[in-house]
Amino acid sequence: MLIKGFPAGSWATNAYVVATGPGEPAIIIDPGQDSIEGIKEIVRENRLKPAAVILTHGHIDHIWSVAPVSADFGIPALIHVDDRYRLADPAGSSFSAARDQLLAMTKGELELTEPQDIEIIENNKSLTIAGVEWNFVHSPGHTEGSMVIMTDRDGEPMAFTGDVLFAGSIGRTDLPGGSLAAMTHSLENVILPMLDQTLVYPGHGPNTTIGAERATNPFLSTGKGL
């Protein structure tokens, strides 16, 4: 499996490009602010053929560049039905900055606009994209439509957790659409049942494993967070 990720933009949001190998179809996960050139470079260097953009949730730092990326490669953007409304007004449904300030940060006219080709993901759906079976697991708490995106390649389980789980922490629940009760449910029913060897590719910060988080993350350790 070829997995290339890098932090981009003011929020250091991790953007990922994933394929079975060089020269193969690929998916792009969470193209945030200032991620376009990095994504295109990965695609060029590895001769990849993008097939879809996947959004772990609809916060602006994860969807900032989804419209131009979707348009440039002629591919759909996939998002959970409960976060679909955020694509209609990325700036207006966001946080931490006024709409005018956010719009002033754009570098192209398509940024912070709604993609033309959007596909809705319903709860806990499995789809084969770019030659890989992906499981889209609804994991609300950070937003209403947050998803953990899971697959298993050659016996190696992996999860793209967005802002549900980080190394040593979890996503905030005090933003619009957040819920501590929903996050607790997602941690108990989506995150904790995963195998220890599951590789975790979070929305921010370094990669980790479920085993490491089970042992050290204060929100997952027995008696501390749950």
DSSP state of 95: -
Q: Is 118 helix (H, G, I), strand (E, B) or coil?
A: strand
Task: Convert the pLDDT of each residue in 131-141 to its tens digit.
Answer: 999 999 999 99
pLDDT value at position 175? Answer: 87
What residues have CB less than 8 Å from 192, skipping those under 6 apart? 214, 220, 226
CA–CA gap between residue 223 and residue 116 (Å, rounded): 46
pLDDT value at position 153? Answer: 78
CA–CA gap between residue 117 and residue 211 (Å, rounded): 38
pLDDT value at position 93? Answer: 53
Structure tokens given for 7: 């932090």
> Which segments of the chain have a pLDDT < 50?
222-225
pLDDT value at position 41? Answer: 98
Q: Is 90 helix (H, G, I), strand (E, B) or coil?
A: coil
Instruction: With 0.85 as the threshold, say if the pTM is over it.
Output: yes
CA–CA gap between residue 89 and residue 171 (Å, rounded): 22
Which residue ranges form the domains of the chain, and what is each CATH number?
2-216 (3.60.15.10)
